A and B are shown apart, each in its own frame.
Chain A
Amino acid sequence: MYPSRFRYEAPHSLDEAIGLLTNGGDYAKVLAGGQSLVPLMKLRFASPELVVDINNVPGLAYHRAEPDGTLRIGALCRHADLERSQLLASTQPTLAAAAPLIADPIVRNRGTLVGSICHADPQGDWASAVLSLGGSIVAQGPGGRRSIPVAEFVTGPFQTVLEPDEIAIEATIPPAQGTRAGGYLKLERRVGDFATVGVAVSVETSGTVVTRAGIALTGVGGSTIGATEAAAALTGRPLTAESIGEAARLAADAARPRTDHRGSAEYKRHMVATFVERILGRVTEPAERAA
């Protein structure tokens, strides 16, 4: 299989890339890791007239923490960079848990977190992990930059608010309000398969009280689901068996799974609750986890 015919440009600056998109006709796509876009093009689900490859644009391969604790992940930061990141391992438990579960090791060498979120596959893992942390996408277009919370960025299956002449240049994660804990769990039939169910849970605690919580669900609806009521059930109180149980029940309620070859709707809903309990159980029992 190969894609239908397209024009290819590989600019060396963001301005040049945005210029190409602005003047690039009706249907242009930005190519970063290509691990979703190229298969879609081969299957002719996507047939862009112009492909703007940003791999030669310098200065986009970073991930770094700002002095205030904000994490910035550039558009060319690969999954593998995040999987091996000491920074993530020490400061971002949810992202560090998700990184090794993205696709397979070879795909992780090329694919990018920002690209994955722009692809907006309901079964994409990163969108859930970043959504649970209250993260945003920074888009740059001819009129300048804007920051869009992931909660508003993804509007539906494979749909985002990104304008045709905008490039998502980085993802940002706000600083923790207290101590950050959390995780990502994914049920998959085998490595590289899409998630049957994925659950991201991020909590920030001050003393024993949860100051901020986020729960997001992968693969159990038409797009990434932010389980806001479930997260609210955790906030403003200590983590207890009761609050965890309530959050698990509300997260399962927020899921909109469909029965398919990966499992029944009932099973997937059950797994959402199980994963919420499992992640938060590990958070509350770090000693047991270490043992």
Chain B
Amino acid sequence: MFEFIKKLFGPEPSSVTARERLRLVLLSDHLSLAPDVVESLKGDLIEVISRYCEVDVANCDVTFEQQDKQVAMLANIPILGMRSRQAPRTPEPPPAPAPPPVSSTPAAAQSTAHPAPSPPKAGGAGAGAPRRRRRRKSGGVAPNAAPQAT
């Protein structure tokens, strides 16, 4: 339906394409981040989140945005459903792990580029990790994903 309306109005003007290309190229200039690094980061993020949730991979979007002097990573990862883990040791934990002093507000989804990419790499299969990861997932992804899941 949406695609149909899009087609009705013709292709997007080339200035929009130019703006987007400019944004991306300057981003990689400023971060010294190669475009393929962004792609593999996106893949890693989706992979980690997929361990816990059913992710709509086709509609995932991970971008960086210049916000004044800072760069923010914005991840929009639609969640189709929760994955039931083999042994549900901690039933219904998402609301519980609030205590740790972390900003699990929606703002966490707009964390700066530096802290954000690291957690997926750090998240090994350690025994103590699940609790931490679940918090990241709910804080970092769910708020953005919710509107799209409908």
A-B complex is real:
no
Q: Which residues of A contact B (CB under 8 A)?
A: none
